[in-house]
């Protein structure tokens, strides 16, 4: 929506909004609409691109047309002079992310801090006596610092080495200020810098985690797992991304605006939808329209593919089923009547056809991504995920069915070993992302979502 459209808004449905610059990528409309829909709340939520120059004009219109709004970068402090009242915490922080319109008057609050507190609570993080190091000194850092104050933690804010502006924590006696290259040995690391987000995905704000570290919270949620969080997982350090913080700040804003509780059911629904929304954004960022699962027979391509497509609201296509349709006979029959070579030709044809799919999860046959030609046919359109699984896991799944011609052998374990060994190099060469698939289905689905 733009300011003109907001001025013209005259529906009876209470309207809320998020304002910022930029604003296109905000998932707040998706979040709030899901909460309203699940809890049967008659309200709508939009986003407005508001620059510094249009902030005053916006607040004038908001007084008449909106019931409340969220504020994001870069207006969290700049909005304050236009408000009629500011809650004590928000005033102390000099940061407002939630404004409620009451009889044309604007009341400011900060619910970001509640999102931080909720994230620490969700992970049962005891702050007292801990050394907490916060990476970055921007707006998100401020919310984290205020959430941690007076709880008996030793708080350090680590800034970029070449920061020239004063730090908000310079005059806070309870907070140490240092640089990212001079980190203390902390128990908890909280990243509030944008390093690791979408464009700088492979980067981390720090090259290694401190020895003592037992929890890492990254306020970034796109991708769902940043390189920093991956490092933490690899070291078996507990960690959490920023999606729950985003969710709870939004929920608390709605509770202030609507004077009612948002149900746990709605929070769960919004959490699922947001994760899917983030993955779809990531896929678009990678300029891919679909996801293709590759891997040896029995690694779970079809089961995981169906579950993943459900999560994302995508269609699901099984490449082997398409071959069966095309040939008018089962895979076993194709192999028996015409031989493997003919099957491979049909497989290449089907993959070429599927390379135009949008919003689809494709389960390919176990031999499909062995050939470079097949990978080349799909790789521009689809994000190819190699599901690497161990031989015992594959054997367990394969022995459930007798529909695989290549497994018609008295010694399937040896056949799996030989065939997998001969294909492994090609599977590994022909993918965009490789994951460990020897896990329960839901864990594999989430692993894929995190890595996209």
Tell me the closest approach of the beta carbon of residue 315 to ligand S3P, in angstroms: 18
Q: How far is CA 373 from the centre of its chain?
A: 32
Distance CA 72, CA 20 (A): 5
Closest to 191 (Cα-Cα) out of 144, 243, 121: 144
Burial of 211 (0-12, 13-18, 19+ CB in 10 A): exposed
Q: Which is nearer to ligand S3P, 280 or 404 (CB)?
A: 404
Q: Could you give the dihedral angle defined by the CA atoms of residues 388, 392, 394 and 399, in that order, rounded to the nearest 10 degrees?
A: 180
Tell me the closest approach of the beta carbon of residue 395 to ligand S3P, in angstroms: 13
Q: Which is nearer to ligand S3P, 115 or 295 (CB)?
A: 295
Tell me if 404 contacts ligand S3P by CB under 6 A: yes
How many residues of this chain bind ligand S3P (CB under 6 A)? 10
Conformation bin of residue 377: beta by default, left when phi > 0, alpha when psi is -120 to 50:
alpha
Tell me if 412 contacts ligand S3P by CB under 6 A: no
Distance CA 339, CA 146 (A): 69
Tell me the closest approach of the beta carbon of residue 435 to ligand S3P, in angstroms: 16
For residue 370, what are its two tokens? 């062995």
Query: In Å, how far are 9, 163, 272 from 35, measured between CA atoms?
Result: 22, 39, 11
Q: Which is nearer to ligand S3P, 37 or 349 (CB)?
A: 349
Tell me the closest approach of the beta carbon of residue 448 to ligand S3P, in angstroms: 17
When binding is defined by CB under 6 A, the residue of 93, 157, 297, 357 that contacts ligand S3P is 297
Q: Which is nearer to ligand S3P, 147 or 387 (CB)?
A: 387
Tell me the closest approach of the beta carbon of residue 331 to ligand S3P, in angstroms: 5
Tell me the closest approach of the beta carbon of residue 343 to ligand S3P, in angstroms: 7
Residues from 269 through 288 that contact ligand S3P (CB under 6 A): none
Kindly name the residue from 33, 65, 76, 301 that is annotated as catalytic: 76
Q: Which is nearer to ligand S3P, 235 or 408 (CB)?
A: 408
Q: Would you say 82 and 106 are in contact if contact means Cβ atoms under 8 Å apart? A: yes
Q: Which stretch binds ligand S3P (CB under 6 A): 29-37, 103-111, 186-194, 399-407?
A: 399-407
- Name the pairing type of β-strands 315-318 and 290-294: unpaired
Lay out the site mask for ligand S3P across 24-53 (x = CB under 6 A, - = otherwise): ------------------------------
Distance CA 110, CA 88 (A): 9
Residues from 325 through 384 that contact ligand S3P (CB under 6 A): 331, 365-367
Q: Could you give the dihedral angle defined by the CA atoms of residues 37, 43, 253 and 198, in that order, rounded to the nearest 10 degrees?
A: 60
Distance CA 250, CA 71 (A): 11
DSSP assignment letter at 4: H
Tell me the closest approach of the beta carbon of residue 397 to ligand S3P, in angstroms: 9
Q: How far is CA 73 from the centre of its chain?
A: 20
Which residue reads 């289905």 in tokens?
A: 441
Distance CA 29, CA 32 (A): 5
Query: In Å, how far are 27, 288, 292, 389 from 362, measured between CA atoms?
Result: 27, 13, 5, 18
Closest to 218 (Cα-Cα) out of 232, 234, 236: 232
When binding is defined by CB under 6 A, the residue of 44, 187, 320, 447 that contacts ligand S3P is 320
Q: Which is nearer to ligand S3P, 160 or 413 (CB)?
A: 413
Q: Which is nearer to ligand S3P, 208 or 333 (CB)?
A: 333
Tell me if 300 contacts ligand S3P by CB under 6 A: no
Tell me the closest approach of the beta carbon of residue 283 to ligand S3P, in angstroms: 23
Q: Which is nearer to ligand S3P, 73 or 429 (CB)?
A: 429
When binding is defined by CB under 6 A, the residue of 74, 194, 210, 405 that contacts ligand S3P is 405
Closest to 278 (Cα-Cα) out of 82, 27, 53: 27
Collapsed DSSP state (helix, strand, coil) of residue 243 = helix
Our answer to whether residue 76 is catalytic in this structure is yes
Q: Which is nearer to ligand S3P, 108 or 365 (CB)?
A: 365
Strand order, beta sheet including 98-102: 44-49, 15-20, 68-71, 98-102, 105-109, 85-86
Tell me the closest approach of the beta carbon of residue 401 to ligand S3P, in angstroms: 8
Distance CA 247, CA 330 (A): 47
Tell me if 406 contacts ligand S3P by CB under 6 A: yes
Q: Which stretch binds ligand S3P (CB under 6 A): 40-48, 72-80, 380-388, 401-409?
A: 401-409
**Residues found near ligand S3P in the complex (CB under 6 A):** 297, 301, 320, 331, 365-367, 404-406
- The residues carrying an active-site annotation are 76
């Amino acid at each position: 929506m733009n300011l003109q459209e907001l001025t013209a808004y005259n529906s009876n449905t209470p309207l809320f909004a998020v304002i910022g610059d930029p604003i296109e990528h905000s998932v707040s409309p998706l979040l709030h609409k899901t909460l309203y829909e699940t809890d049967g709340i008659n309200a709508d939520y939009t986003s407005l691109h508001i620059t510094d120059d249009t902030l005053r004009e916006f607040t004038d219109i908001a007084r008449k047309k909106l019931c409340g709004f969220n504020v994001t970068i870069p207006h969290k402090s700049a909005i304050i002079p236009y408000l009629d009242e500011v809650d004590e915490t928000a005033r102390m922080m000099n940061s407002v992310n939630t404004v409620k319109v009451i009889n044309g008057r604007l009341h400011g609050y900060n619910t970001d801090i509640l999102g931080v507190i909720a994230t620490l609570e969700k992970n049962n993080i005891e702050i007292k006596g801990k050394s907490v190091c916060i990476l970055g000194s921007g707006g998100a850092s401020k919310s984290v610092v205020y959430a941690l104050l007076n709880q008996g933690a030793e708080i350090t804010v680590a800034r970029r080495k070449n920061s020239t502006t004063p730090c908000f924590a310079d005059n806070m006696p309870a907070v140490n200020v240092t640089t990212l290259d001079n980190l203390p040995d902390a128990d908890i690391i909280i990243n509030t810098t944008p390093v690791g987000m979408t464009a700088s995905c492979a980067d981390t704000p720090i090259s290694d985690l401190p020895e003592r570290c037992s929890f890492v919270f990254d306020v970034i949620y796109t991708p769902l797992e940043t390189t920093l969080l991956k490092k933490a997982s690899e070291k078996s350090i507990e960690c959490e991304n920023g999606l729950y913080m985003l969710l709870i700040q939004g929920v608390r804003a709605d509770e202030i605006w609507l004077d009612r509780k948002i149900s746990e059911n709605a929070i769960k629904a919004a959490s699922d939808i947001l994760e899917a929304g983030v993955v779809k954004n990531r896929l678009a960022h990678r300029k891919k329209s679909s996801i293709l699962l590759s891997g040896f027979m029995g690694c779970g391509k079809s089961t995981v593919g169906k579950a993943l497509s459900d999560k994302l609201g995508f269609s699901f296509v099984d490449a082997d089923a398409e071959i069966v349709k095309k040939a008018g006979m089962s895979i076993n029959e194709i192999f028996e009547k015409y031989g493997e070579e003919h099957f491979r030709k049909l497989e290449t044809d089907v993959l070429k056809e599927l390379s135009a799919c949008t919003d689809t999860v494709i389960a390919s046959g176990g031999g499909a991504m062995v050939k470079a030609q097949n990978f080349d046919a799909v790789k521009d359109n689809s994000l190819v995920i190699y599901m690497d699984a161990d031989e015992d896991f594959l054997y367990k799944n394969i022995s459930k069915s007798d529909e695989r011609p290549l497994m018609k052998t008295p010694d399937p374990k040896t056949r799996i070993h030989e065939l997998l060994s001969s294909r492994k190099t090609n599977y590994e060469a022909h993918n965009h992302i490789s994951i460990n698939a020897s896990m329960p289905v839901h864990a594999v689905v989430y692993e894929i979502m995190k890595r996209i």
